[in-house]
């Protein structure tokens, strides 16, 4: 026999649940503090009523639903989904060192009430990626985080679930970016030109105009000169969209780079420094030089840049109609690179 609280208790819980659901769906920052307080009292009342979020069963939820308490059912289902997610293979794929159980998941019940997630995405897989990104960002308090997942713009909202536990409250997934369509779509090939690692192309303490002063490449030519400001804004990961996945993978495998564990992390080069790049014109119309650089603060106030390798980007002739694939990949014009 399924045991549920008496009607008066369910009435009280339904009222609290209605307030929480309504506030959670308002998507405004002013509601966060009120939500935190209401969730705290709601969790206490649930335990007193014998409906612990850590042990609620589908049978109890179904029985309460049959009694006509829709908002309470929404919250109880959210707790149950969090428990299911906590030990799911999707979660372990991106968060292998985590433990099962609702309290071991830094996700608020609001996630399943107020998050805006495209229907075509696997909910647990998407949540797992979000948890890993959010955890790696190490939030220290309430706030927002913006990132991109599956080419979707994603907004994370962080808050306190019960006034004490900092959690990911919800996400809002915006528009998906699509590569620009062009009437002519050139394809690119990449090939190594000189993979000699040139250490300490820069080693110093840049300030002011130093960021815009030319830096010469050891054993290089004048057109390869670069500035720290230039390479600092060009993350290696951007090359995947510009060159296509196959060319990007060729560079990664040839250079021996390790793929980062999530969307917020970056590729690393020599001395575990962030990987950057820049592109230079050559005397050949359809060939450009791609220079890879590891760059960052090696020690406090000491910045280092190493040349990782030099590649060539070669624009190939457009395939003939007979040889062109049915769904050719959309690749930006070569002129847009760099």
pLDDT band for position 335 (cuts 50, 70, 90):
very low
Rounded CA separation 87/97 (Å): 11
Work out the percent of the chain whose per-residue pLDDT is above 90: 50
Query: If you search the block for the tokens 């927002």, which residue do you land on?
Result: 144
* Strand residues in the chain grouped as ranges (E): 143-149, 152-160, 166-176, 187-194, 198-204, 274-281, 287-299, 302-316
Query: What mean pLDDT value characterizes the chain?
Result: 85
Rounded CA separation 71/106 (Å): 23
Please tell me the predicted confidence (pLDDT) of residue 323: 42
Q: Could you report the per-residue pLDDT of 172-201, keeping only the tens digit for each?
A: 888 776 655 544 555 889 999 999 899 999
Please indicate whether residue 11 or residue 205 has the higher confidence score (pLDDT): 11
Rounded CA separation 210/267 (Å): 25
Rounded CA separation 181/28 (Å): 36
Question: Which pair of structure tokens corresponds to residue 132?
Answer: 């890993």
Please tell me the predicted confidence (pLDDT) of residue 184: 52
Question: Which pair of structure tokens corresponds to residue 251?
Answer: 């560079």
Q: Could you report the per-residue pLDDT of 22-54, keeping only the tens digit for each?
A: 988 887 767 777 888 888 899 999 999 999 999
Based on its alpha-carbon atoms, the radius of gyration of the chain, rounded to whole angstroms, reads 26
Contact status, residue 229 vs residue 278, Cβ threshold 8 Å: no
Question: Which pair of structure tokens corresponds to residue 318?
Answer: 């457009």
Residue in 235, 213, 214, 209 with CA at minimum distance from that of residue 225 = 214
Q: Could you report the per-residue pLDDT of 253-294, keeping only the tens digit for each?
A: 999 998 887 777 789 999 989 999 999 999 998 999 999 999
pLDDT above 70 for 126: yes
Angle at 109 between CA 168 and CA 159, to 5 degrees: 35
CA distances for 199 relative to 219, 293, 296, angstroms: 11, 10, 13
């Amino acid at each position: 026999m399924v045991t549920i609280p008496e009607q008066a208790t369910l009435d009280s819980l339904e009222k609290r649940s209605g307030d929480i659901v309504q506030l959670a769906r308002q998507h405004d920052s002013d509601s966060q503090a009120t939500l935190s307080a209401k969730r705290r009292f709601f969790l206490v009342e649930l335990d007193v009523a014998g409906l612990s979020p850590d042990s609620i069963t589908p049978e109890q939820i179904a029985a309460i639903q049959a009694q006509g308490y829709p908002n309470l059912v929404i919250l109880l289902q959210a707790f149950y989904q969090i428990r299911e997610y906590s030990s799911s293979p999707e979660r372990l794929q991106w968060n292998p060192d985590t433990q099962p159980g609702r309290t071991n998941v830094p996700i608020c019940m609001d996630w399943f009430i107020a998050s805006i997630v495209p229907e075509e995405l696997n909910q647990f897989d998407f949540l797992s990626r979000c948890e890993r990104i959010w955890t790696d960002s190490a939030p220290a308090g309430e706030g927002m985080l913006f990132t991109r997942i599956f080419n979707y713009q994603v907004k994370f909202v962080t808050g306190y679930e019960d006034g004490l536990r900092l959690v990911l409250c919800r996400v809002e997934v915006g528009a998906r970016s699509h590569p620009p369509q062009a009437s002519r779509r050139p394809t690119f090939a990449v090939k190594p030109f000189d993979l000699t690692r040139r250490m300490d192309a820069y080693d110093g303490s840049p300030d002011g105009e130093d960021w815009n002063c030319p830096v010469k490449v050891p054993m290089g030519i004048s057109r390869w000169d670069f500035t720290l400001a230039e390479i600092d804004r060009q993350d290696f990961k951007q090359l995947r969209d510009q060159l296509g996945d196959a060319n990007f993978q060729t560079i990664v495998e040839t250079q021996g780079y390790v793929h980062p564990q999530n969307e917020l992390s970056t590729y690393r080069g020599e001395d575990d420094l962030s990987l950057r790049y820049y592109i230079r014109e050559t005397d050949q119309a359809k060939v450009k030089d791609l220079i890879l650089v590891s760059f960052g603060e090696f020690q406090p106030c000491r910045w280092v840049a190493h040349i990782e390798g030099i590649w060539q980007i070669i624009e190939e002739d457009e395939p003939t109609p007979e040889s062109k694939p049915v769904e050719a990949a959309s690749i930006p014009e070569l002129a847009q690179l760099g």
